[in-house]
A and B are shown apart, each in its own frame.
Chain A
Amino acid sequence: DGGITQSPKYLFRKEGQNVTLSCEQNLNHDAMYWYRQDPGQGLRLIYYSQIVNDFQKGDIAEGYSVSREKKESFPLTVTSAQKNPTAFYLCASSPRRTVLYMNTEAFFGQGTRLTVV
């Protein structure tokens, strides 16, 4: 089935450790996104990528890093520099918006709940 797979579903991390969240899509989408969801704050954009080997910071990139070595994969690393990492993380993808292809809809993974213990 086509879609976005995030793993693991639940993740526990000790303070001071880096941890990597996986996001894989088989929709052949160019654009991929990482969001963080906290109660009362909606979805805040961490990083996004329009194309392989390119990505941009979102609104809350500090303490996070990403890579986009393959079209289908966009892993997110939560580093020890992230002061409040406990949250629900959502990955999304969409066809890349271009002059020829203007209308894009994002598809979401099921999320990873990260807890720092």
Chain B
Amino acid sequence: AQSVSQHNHHVILSEAASLELGCNYSYGGTVNLFWYVQYPGQHLQLLLKYFSGDPLVKGIKGFEAEFIKSKFSFNLRKPSVQWSDTAEYFCAVNARAGGGNKLTFGTGTQLKVEL
């Protein structure tokens, strides 16, 4: 069955520190990969996405993610975090299932950035 693992459940960083959040998925076929963000009290927003082509994708607010097919991974990175990046981050995989597509999310990583 298709699944998504996010290994870091809670991350606390100081401002200007670098960020890397892990995401691994289990599915052998073609996938679309996403990172979504949910700021406190707000709704889910798309941060970035990978469909095909360059495995290094750039998203909003300085975030980027690298798709490594051999490792089934899609880790999220940001060189220097800001206090406003405090949020919950979700990795998601869209893969073929039942003749269409099934979108599966990881359990999320709660990021807290301290001043």
Contacts and interface: CB of A to CB of B under 8 A. Distances in A.
Tell me what chain B mostly uses at the interface: helix, strand, loop, or mixed: strand
B106 interface: yes
B51 A110 contact: no
B40 interface: no
Contact of B105 (A35, A96, A97, A103): A35
B94 interface: yes
Interface string B52-80: 10000000000000000000000000000
Given A31-B100, A50-B99, A90-B44, A104 B94 contact: yes
A33 B103 contact: yes
Contacts of A42: 6, 90, 105-108
B44 A50 contact: no
Contact of A43 (B51, B52, B90, B100): B90
Interface string B2-42: 00001001000000000000000000001010100000000
B43 A108 contact: yes
Interface in A40-98: 40-45, 48, 50-51, 56, 58-59, 90, 92, 94, 96-98
Nearest to A35: B105
Contacts of B101: 31, 50, 94, 96-97, 104
Contacts of A97: 94, 96, 100-101
Contacts of A111: 43
Contacts of A90: 44
Contacts of A50: 98-101
Nearest to A99: B96
A1 interface: no
Interface of A: 30-31, 33, 35, 40-45, 48, 50-51, 56, 58-59, 90, 92, 94, 96-98, 102-106, 108, 110-111
